[in-house]
Structure 1
Amino acid sequence: MLQLKHYHFNAFSLSCRAQVVEFPHLDAGQMYPALQAEALQPQISHAEPDTVDPHEFVVTLKLDHAPADDSVFPYSFMIEAEGLFTIDHDGDLDERRRLVAVNGASILYGAMREQLLTLSARHRYGPVLLPCLDFRGLAKRESARVDTND
């Protein structure tokens, strides 16, 4: 079982894009400016104590989104959150690392999503709701991005 002991934001910035001069057009039934999951490139890293069999890990998740010049998405943002997790799992250490990275990133992403929604609600173009992401696939594709301190 994974437990979040603490999390905080290391960085959080949200800017209205100057080149977007009109309010974003929202299609019927759409409540937020559209942001596709493919537009986000989350970066996950984690650290662990220098012990033989660690059960405590720090996971860092960073989202940095700067839309292309021809994009109609009205915001650019950068968010970095860090969480301290414990895991009650006595299996293989690599499996424990994978579980913490995937599930820890998912938990931090939920906190980022809510905070961005709250902050952007008071910005010029209205609220932004981050799309759902599947971190299981990201961990497999981006294994080179996951830093471990062995």
Structure 2
Amino acid sequence: MNSPLQLEHYFFERMHCLAKSDIEFEDVRAWHEADSSRFQLTVELATNPEAEHQWQVSVDLRTSGDYPAPSPYELRFTAVGFFVVDEDFKHDNIEHLIRVNGSSVLYSAMREFVSLFTSRAPWGSVMLPTINFRLLAAKPSDDNENE
């Protein structure tokens, strides 16, 4: 049985990994074992004004500047996906469906990509934590796009 939300295409708009050289081995291990607060995650949605059943989802992940311990990596990845909602699907909050399910699909792809991307980096492969997208609220756009 197909989901009412179908992924048509996705790509990685941004892929950035900088391995830091001024970090202690103990800090690396602790960082890898830390919770999801070591990352910042932003989700943005857009719909096609001419076709309300077509959506774009952007998931942006970066290492958090608020995390108290040193990070072995400076990471920033952005995945963009294009989704279609079945026109016959009736739901009282389509935006919530897109935010939760669309973000989850892209984040799963991002988790695998980040793991592969960092597997050749000096501080080991990064496994992104599991995220509950139902609790992730809409966040304003980042003013620092050129970082």
Superposition pairs for residues 43-122 of structure 1, below 5 Å?
43-51=42-50, 54-67=52-65, 71-88=69-86, 89-92=89-92, 95-122=93-120
Asked if the contact 1:58/1:82 (under 8 Å) is kept, the reply is yes
Q: Which runs of 5+ in 2 are unaligned?
A: 142-147
Q: Which runs of 5+ in 1 are unaligned?
A: none
Measure, in 1, the Cα distance between the counterparts of 2:67 and 2:119: 23
Counterpart of 1:17 in structure 2 is 20
The residue matched to 2:103 in structure 1 has which SS? helix
Distance change (3 Å), C-alpha of 1:43 and 1:81: same
Asked if the contact 1:63/1:80 (under 8 Å) is kept, the reply is yes
The residue matched to 2:9 in structure 1 has which SS? strand
Measure, in 2, the Cα distance between the counterparts of 1:69 and 1:87: 37
Structure 1 residue 24 displacement after superposition:
5.1
Measure, in 2, the Cα distance between the counterparts of 1:9 and 1:26: 28
Deviations 1:37-94 (A, max 9, x none): 123221111111113x6111000010121456862431110000100011122333xx
Larger mean CA deviation between 79-88 and 13-22 belongs to: 13-22
Counterpart of 2:145 in structure 1 is none
The residue matched to 2:11 in structure 1 has which SS? strand
Structure 1 residue 102 displacement after superposition:
1.2
TM-score by length of 1: 0.79
Of residues 1, 5, 8, the one that matches 1:5 is: 8
1:15 maps to a residue whose letter is: L
Q: What is the aligned-residue identity percentage?
A: 27
Counterpart of 1:143 in structure 2 is 138
TM-score by length of 2: 0.80
Give the aligned CA root-mean-square deviation in angstroms. 2.4
Measure, in 2, the Cα distance between the counterparts of 1:46 and 1:68: 25
The structure in which a higher percent of residues are strand is 2
Distance change (3 Å), C-alpha of 1:102 and 1:18: same
What count of residue pairs does the alignment treat as equivalent? 136
